[in-house]
């Protein structure tokens, strides 16, 4: 009979490895306090920012709701890698909606809970940037406008990753995707288009809007917990690097998420009722080039003759954010 030794690598789960470890020997990830709502064993790529962001966001929502949480999930990587039929990595009540109607499905769940008098149950809707900024945008705006009691979380990896890296309206200018190839006089994605959904959410005047990155998971957890405690519509937009779609190394996910904030391209803030109330300041400002260079989706800008004009235009976008949100502590972080 063949013999298979028990391995202890799955210590972040409720599977055999976790249960066999003594309390003292458990890693932080294997602590019994953590709900592991998005459990290990799913099929995300190595270094997937979306998997990391969802794991921390949903665990924080579980803690904040006293484990009374239901999630609706748009079609996209998060749904596909976590639920290859008949398996699932979710350890919460979880429903897969269509690609474009997650906000509406979550609204329906919230209405059902209201009718049942279950004000203790909290509802999360989640999706990628395509499901949020493009096809799901109408349902999302309706959810905001009605101030439905739902927290919507967008995991922004800046393209349609699940179907092969097509451009979305959250794809940054000059980026190479399968549908914005680096050819012609202005290679990559166009400048001056796209949508800034956190600002659009704020324009709806909803109680709470926040942005976050997977480089600061404590900040992310804090924002999710805050949002769960607020009644009405809430929106959190999380920056989640995608090694496969960006052509970045899987061990650079956190570093890229840190650098996008430190260069000013992705401002991290909170807003209440349409007004910015707190901003995460840049600790040490870096040029956008430092953030872009390790990603192959920008490789066409760094050839033999670097596209200095294009890089300068992207730097100008970061500078505008820095000014608009007051991201620099004067005299401290340059
Ligand atoms: C109506 C409809 N159109 C197209 C698709 C195919 N489709 C599934 S997921 C997806 C892209 C998802 O992109 P995004 O929302 O950015 O999530 P990601 O995979 O990047 O996490 C597309 C186009 C679909 N499922 N339904
Ligand atoms: S393609 Fe990107 S978003 Fe999808 S599982 Fe892989 S790393 Fe994550």
Q: Answer yes or no: is the C-beta of 245 below 6 A from any ligand 1 atom.
A: no
Chunked in runs of 10, what are the mean pLDDT values of the chain (334 residues)?
A: 53 52 67 81 95 96 97 98 93 97 98 98 98 98 98 98 98 98 94 93 98 97 98 98 98 98 98 98 97 98 95 98 93 54
Supply the pLDDT for residue 35: 84
Supply the pLDDT for residue 31: 67
Supply the pLDDT for residue 34: 77
Q: Answer yes or no: is the C-beta of 161 below 6 A from any ligand 1 atom.
A: yes
Q: Give 185: exposed, middle or buried? Use CB within 10 Å, 0-12, 13-18, 19+.
A: exposed
Residue 98: DSSP 8-state: -
Supply the pLDDT for residue 41: 84
**Separation between Cα atoms, residue 204 and residue 146, nearest integer Å:** 10
Question: What sign for the dihedral angle of Cα 326, 328, 332, 334?
Answer: negative
Task: For residue 244, give the ligand nearest its CA.
Answer: 2
131 Cα: distance to centroid of ligand 1 (angstroms): 6
Strand arrangement, sheet containing 94-96: 94-96, 69-73, 122-128, 151-156, 234-239, 208-213, 269-272, 275-279
Q: Taking the model in full, what pTM does it have?
A: 0.94
177 Cα: distance to centroid of ligand 2 (angstroms): 14
Is the preceding omega at residue 86 within 30 degrees of 0, hence cis?
Answer: yes
203 Cα: distance to centroid of ligand 2 (angstroms): 30
Q: Answer yes or no: is the C-beta of 168 below 6 A from any ligand 1 atom.
A: yes
**Separation between Cα atoms, residue 63 and residue 255, nearest integer Å:** 27
**Separation between Cα atoms, residue 237 and residue 200, nearest integer Å:** 12
Atom 6 of ligand 2: nearest residue by CA position: 45
Task: For residue 134, give the ligand nearest its CA.
Answer: 1
């Amino acid at each position: 009979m063949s013999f298979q030794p028990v391995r202890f690598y799955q210590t972040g789960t409720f599977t055999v490895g976790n249960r066999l470890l003594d309390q003292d020997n458990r890693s932080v990830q294997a602590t019994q306090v953590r709900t592991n709502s998005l459990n290990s064993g799913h099929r995300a790529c190595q270094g997937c920012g979306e998997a990391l962001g969802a794991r921390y966001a949903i665990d924080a929502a579980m803690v904040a709701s006293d484990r009374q949480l239901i999630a609706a999930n748009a079609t996209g990587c998060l749904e596909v890698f976590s639920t290859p039929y008949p398996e699932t990595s979710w350890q919460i009540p979880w429903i897969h909606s269509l690609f474009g109607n997650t906000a509406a499905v979550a609204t329906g769940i919230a209405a059902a809970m209201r009718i049942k008098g279950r004000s203790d149950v909290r509802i999360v809707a989640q999706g990628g940037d395509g499901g949020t900024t493009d096809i799901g945008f109408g349902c999302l705006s309706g959810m905001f406008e009605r101030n439905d009691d739902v927290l919507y979380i967008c995991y922004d990896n800046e393209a349609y990753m699940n179907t092969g890296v097509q451009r979305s309206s959250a794809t940054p200018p000059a980026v190479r995707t399968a549908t914005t190839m680096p050819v012609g006089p202005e290679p990559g994605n166009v400048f001056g288009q796209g949508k800034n959904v956190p600002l659009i959410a704020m324009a709806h005047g909803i109680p709470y809007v926040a942005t976050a990155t997977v480089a600061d998971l404590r900040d992310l957890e804090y924002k999710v917990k805050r949002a769960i405690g607020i009644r009405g519509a809430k929106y959190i937009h999380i920056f989640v690097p995608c090694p496969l779609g960006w052509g970045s190394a899987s061990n650079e996910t956190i570093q890229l998420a840190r650098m996008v904030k430190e260069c000013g391209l992705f401002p991290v803030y909170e807003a209440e009722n349409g007004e910015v109330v707190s901003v995460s300041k840049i600790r040490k400002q870096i040029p956008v080039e430092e953030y872009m260079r390790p990603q192959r989706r920008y490789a066409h800008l760094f050839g033999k003759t670097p596209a200095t004009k294009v890089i300068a235009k992207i730097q100008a976008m970061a500078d505008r954010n820095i000014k608009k949100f007051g991201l620099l502590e004067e005299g401290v972080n340059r």
